[in-house]
Structure 1
Amino acid sequence: MKVNAQSVNFNANPELIHFLQHRMDKLETFYDKVIHSDVFLKVENTSSKENKIVEIKVKVPKDHFMVKKQCRSFEEAVDSACNSLERKLKKMKGKHSPRA
């Protein structure tokens, strides 16, 4: 899957980008018609420890989904966002699958 990752106000390390790509590739097992996705990684300037924000936009035929998660680490936020997308893609696949 084509993943366009953008880090806002910081430079993402290669391990984070690799983790992100690997986790996003797993989404194709739930719905194989994903066209591409845009991921925005942001650090919020607050005193809170949960200042890492991940926004994921996934484009599928005739629709798109957006999930935004805020956690202590980017890995945790990516994992949580991907879990939400998995549920949405499963629901969409159920709606579009032919009834027997």
Structure 2
Amino acid sequence: MKVYAQSVNFNADVKLINFLQNRLDKLETFYDKVISSDVYLKLGNTSAKENKIVEIKLNVPKDKFMVKKQCKSFEEAVDVACSSLERRLKKRKEKLRIKV
């Protein structure tokens, strides 16, 4: 799957990009028709600890899934967002199975 990552207000290091790629590649085990994903990594303007924002837009045929999560670290936010996407992909796959 192609992952387009964009970091806003900071420069993402290679470890974070590799973690992101590996975590999103695991989504293909749940739904194999994923085309690409657009990921936006943002630093919030608040002074709170949970100021890391991750937005993931997943492109699948005839649909798009959007998830936005805010956590203490980017790794945690990516993990929570991917878990949410896993549930949504499983639900979509189940709906397609029922139609056929």
TM-score (norm 2): 0.97
Over aligned residue pairs, what C-alpha RMSD do you find?
1.2
The number of aligned residues is 100
Q: Deviations over 1:47-99 (max 9, x none)?
A: 10000000000010000000000000000000000000000000000011267
Matches within 5 A, 1:73-92: 73-92=73-92
* AA in 1 matched with 2:55: E
Q: What is the rounded CA distance, in whole Å, between the counterparts of 1:88 and 1:97 in structure 2? A: 14
Letter in 1 for 2:34: V
- Letter of the 1:81 partner, please give it: A
**Ranges of 4+ aligned residues in structure 1 off by more than 4 Å:** none
Structure 1 unmatched runs, 5+: none
Q: Counterparts of 1:5 and 1:47 in 2: how far apart (Å)?
A: 24
Please name the residue that 1:36 is paired with.
36
In 1, Cα distance between equivalents of 2:88 and 2:78: 15
The one-letter code matched in structure 1 to 2:47 is S
**2: distance between equivalents of 1:16 and 1:91?**
28
Q: Which residue of 1 aligns with 2:58?
A: 58
Aligned-partner Cα distance in 2 for 1:89–1:43? 27
- Return closer, same or farther for 1:99/1:61 CA change in 2, 3 Å cut-off: closer
Could you tell me the percent identity over the aligned residues? 74
Counterpart residue type for residue 83 of structure 2: N
